[in-house]
Amino acid sequence: MAKDSKKEERKAEKKEVKQQKNLPTRKGMSSSWINAGGYLFLLAAAGAFYFVLVQKSSSGGGGLDDGGFLPQIPANLRPERCPASPRNSSGEEVSIIIPYLQEEWFRIQITMRSILRHTDLGLVAEIMWISDGNPPDKIFADELKALHPKVKVFVNEKNKGLIKTKMEASQRAVGSILMFLEPHIVVAPGWLEPLLNRLGEEPQALVMPTLDFSPGEMTSYQKGVHGYWRFEWNMNLIFTNPWGREFPAMAEPFPSPGTSGGIYAIRKDFWDHLELFDPELILW
């Protein structure tokens, strides 16, 4: 009986590994997400948004009404072995920086409302939206500022590109920690505290959350696979796990050769010390 039991366990383990290997990589993916380690979701392309599932709710982490619509997400995305994250007690505040270009209001609104609902706004100094060369009908300055008094909107009359836009935003930021986000994501409850706790332990780290995903029309949710961000020979950045390596615990942070250019947290003093980015670069 013991042998049969062990055999069944091995079969189950092999099946789980096989399923992980069959999950899509981030190369060419249309959508993805974020959670409490932390986690985010990158929303799908424009038309798909109108098929999104919604959940009725009254008020969230920020104590604000979310208007009754947010993408439906699992009740608890935190890994089983991930301990409850205590509130950051250092007294430092975060500047959330979100550049945007030609984004639909629906995506921007979903992003903003998820931040308001699932973020402890006591940790946030400001939520900076930077319009990078948008036409007047794509700036949405009044709509954004109406959502919360901590929202600030800055407008580049001409497109400067992500690098210069983020450089300028970081100089304007009043928070001691910079949190770069994208304008088409959904943050899940408890997403920010683990990132801040990690920066407290390693002040010279660049910390990126876990990205899960919701394929196609966002009518389903799937946890992201274990893996690393790395560069190919042509310097194309991809997310992959080429050896099918199993990670000891998703609850534990791990180093990566590369990272997403759009979603990460870093201390402002360390950012300034590194002089990120190279202002002569046009794009990455």
Q: What's the rounded Cα separation, in Å, for the pair 161 and 26?
A: 23
Report pLDDT for 82: 64
Q: How far apart are the first and last CA of the chain?
A: 57
Q: Is residue 15 part of a domain?
A: no
Q: Is residue 17 part of a domain?
A: no
Helix (H, G, I), strand (E, B) or coil at 179: strand
Report pLDDT for 173: 98
Report pLDDT for 209: 84
Domain that holds residue 203: 26-71+89-274
CA 168 to chain CA mean position, Å: 21
Where b means 16+ CB within 10 Å and e means fewer, 36-64 reads: bbbbbbbbbeeebbeebeeeeeeebbbee
Q: Is residue 244 part of a domain?
A: yes
Quick: pLDDT tens for 205-262.
998 887 777 654 555 566 766 777 778 888 787 877 766 666 555 667 777 777 777 8
Q: Is residue 31 part of a domain?
A: yes
Q: Is residue 236 part of a domain?
A: yes
Q: What's the rounded Cα separation, in Å, for the pair 209 and 194?
A: 9
Backbone dihedral region of 103: left (phi > 0), alpha (psi from -120 to 50 degrees) or beta? beta
Q: What's the rounded Cα separation, in Å, for the pair 251 and 83?
A: 8
The token duo for 62 is: 């920020």
Q: Is residue 80 part of a domain?
A: no
Residue from 178, 139, 174 nearest 156 by CA: 139
Report pLDDT for 208: 85
Q: Is residue 8 part of a domain?
A: no
Report pLDDT for 240: 78
Ranges of residues in the chain with a pLDDT under 50 are: 1-3, 6, 12-39, 41-68, 216
The CA angle 182-262-137, to the nearest 5 degrees, is 35
Quick: pLDDT tens for 37-62.
444 544 433 322 222 333 333 333 44
State the burial class of residue 282 (Cβ atoms within 10 Å of its Cβ: 0-12, 13-18, 19+): exposed
Q: What CATH number corresponds to the domain at position 250? A: 3.90.550.10
The token duo for 248 is: 């000891």
- Given a contact cutoff of 8 angstroms between Cβ atoms, the answer to whether 157 and 131 are in contact is no
Report pLDDT for 16: 42
Domain count, the chain: 1
Q: Is residue 12 part of a domain?
A: no
